[in-house]
């Protein structure tokens, strides 16, 4: 399981007074950096091997300015060509949002999906979490 | 069905060269303005009666700079306290992304969900689309 | 003079209840699209010939949701290697913000600034506005 | 002098491959949090006592993914009703951008600028830096 802490920015709030719901996908994307490091260790844009096929977010509580948000990131499932990542956002000890992203291994030059190389697949599978996450908190 | 056209902004692209996947939830939110007008006709922030419980997005094609993106917005389902909105994003005649948002009727002063008033429910139900959308395009 | 109209998005507001001041540079950048078309007619990212050296914004009035914002864009000055662009943002007939951007002609492959080609310089100079703008509104 | 470190996010890059110039004002705003704490110690939105009158940014180098950016924030000048804040953004030991923000003390209820209370003014003045910053790095 990977973790990072984000300080909400004033510009990330909206007129309701809390962090805008539209911000969560940007936080979850940046929390996937350790996953990208596995998929593409040199992190160079040329040859970037992955596209995003799906995201979803469930919003459970408002997120406020002034307190850090802890984002957890886990590999949930690894398929032949794709993987599912699961995130949770916690603020002041409470789960505020959770969500998933489906990433597809992709060859930009061929313009098509390709199989995840075995070496990378093994590395991803090492990071699969088997116990339901929320329950264990 | 509601429609709007968005011109992708340079700042909305990312290093891959296309519009960032994180932008779609902001476009879909702004495309829900006509839904907010039904839910809260005066559009004043005080007394804003709705919170977002869920979003999801399926990404089908890259979105490029230089061509407008047509966003369609439809009411899919109206429940006692919540509604589901369905969006599609089309660029150059091709479906690039689709997604849903679940909005919950909410009293910020009470801090709890409340039933959607009948008058608003009827107005929302008038806008339900019954035929699968993608098929009819 | 170039003009475009932007509808403020809910996600562009902040907790104060108005459009965040951090949004204006993104609006002004997108309003420079016609300038980019002159500088780089094919608008393809490869060979993009310009970097930004400076921006400034003066904020005169709050910008609200619910009303379009008219952005005007003018070439103010053209030098050997750089140009200055001037923007104004008007909402409901009142000037809400103004600002400048200094763009430098740049060869990304050489990694250095280069002279603006004469043909482009002439095209830019055609668009210089000589009368102070705010006064004429 | 106040300091914070920001990790550039993938969604903050643009098609050129570096961090978008439009991101810097959002980073500088979040780097002003310690200034806001002096101006408005309870940090509650109701009664927020300041509006932004001006920002400017000079861009000196591209900012890349993969390396933290150190943002420094200093009070440069304190007037009767306004103050000027100066920021620098450093990545990998090099100055990448600098800029200023002018904040005006403001009573949202009266709808007009007001004098900065003496107690706050003294606190701000304690943080004025007298030596040119870039030189001392």
**ipTM entry:** 0.93
pLDDT of residue C95: 98
Bridge-based pairing state of the strands B94-107 and B69-78: unpaired
Chain A: nearest CA to B56, how far in angstroms?
4
Confidence of residue D131 (pLDDT cuts 50, 70, 90): low
Q: Determine whether the interchain pair A16/B54 forms a contact, defined as Cβ–Cβ distance below 8 Å.
A: no
Whole-number Cα distances in Å, A137 to A94, A126, B31: 10, 21, 37
> Could you tell me the two tokens for D59?
């861009």
Look up tokens 């519009």; give the residue: B19
Distance from C-alpha of D105 to C-alpha of B46, rounded to nearest angstrom: 25
Q: Determine whether the interchain pair D51/C57 forms a contact, defined as Cβ–Cβ distance below 8 Å.
A: no
Residue by residue, pLDDT tens for chain C (137 residues) are 999 999 999 999 999 999 999 999 999 999 999 999 999 988 788 889 999 999 999 999 999 999 999 999 999 999 999 999 999 999 999 999 999 999 999 998 888 999 999 999 999 999 897 555 554 44
**Which residues on chain D place their C-beta less than 8 Å from a C-beta of chain B?**
10-11, 13-15, 17-18, 20, 22-23, 65
In this prediction the pTM is: 0.94
Mutating which of B9, B32, B52 best tests the C interface, going by the most C Cβ atoms within 10 A? B9
Q: Among candidates D50, C26, A69, which has minimal Cα distance to B20?
A: C26
């Amino acid at each position: 399981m990977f973790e990072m802490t984000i300080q909400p920015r004033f510009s990330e709030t909206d007129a309701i007074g809390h962090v805008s719901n539209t911000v969560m996908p940007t936080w979850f994307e940046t929390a996937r950096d350790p996953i990208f490091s596995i998929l593409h260790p040199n992190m160079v844009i040329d040859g970037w091997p992955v596209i995003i096929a799906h995201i979803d977010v469930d919003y459970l509580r408002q997120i406020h300015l002034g307190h850090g948000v802890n984002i957890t990131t886990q590999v949930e499932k690894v398929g032949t060509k794709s993987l599912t990542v699961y995130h949770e956002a916690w603020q002041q000890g409470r789960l505020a949002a959770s969500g998933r992203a489906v990433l597809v291994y992709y060859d930009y030059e061929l313009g098509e999906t390709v199989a995840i190389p075995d070496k990378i697949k093994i590395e991803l599978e090492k990071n699969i979490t088997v116990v339901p996450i929320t329950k264990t908190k």
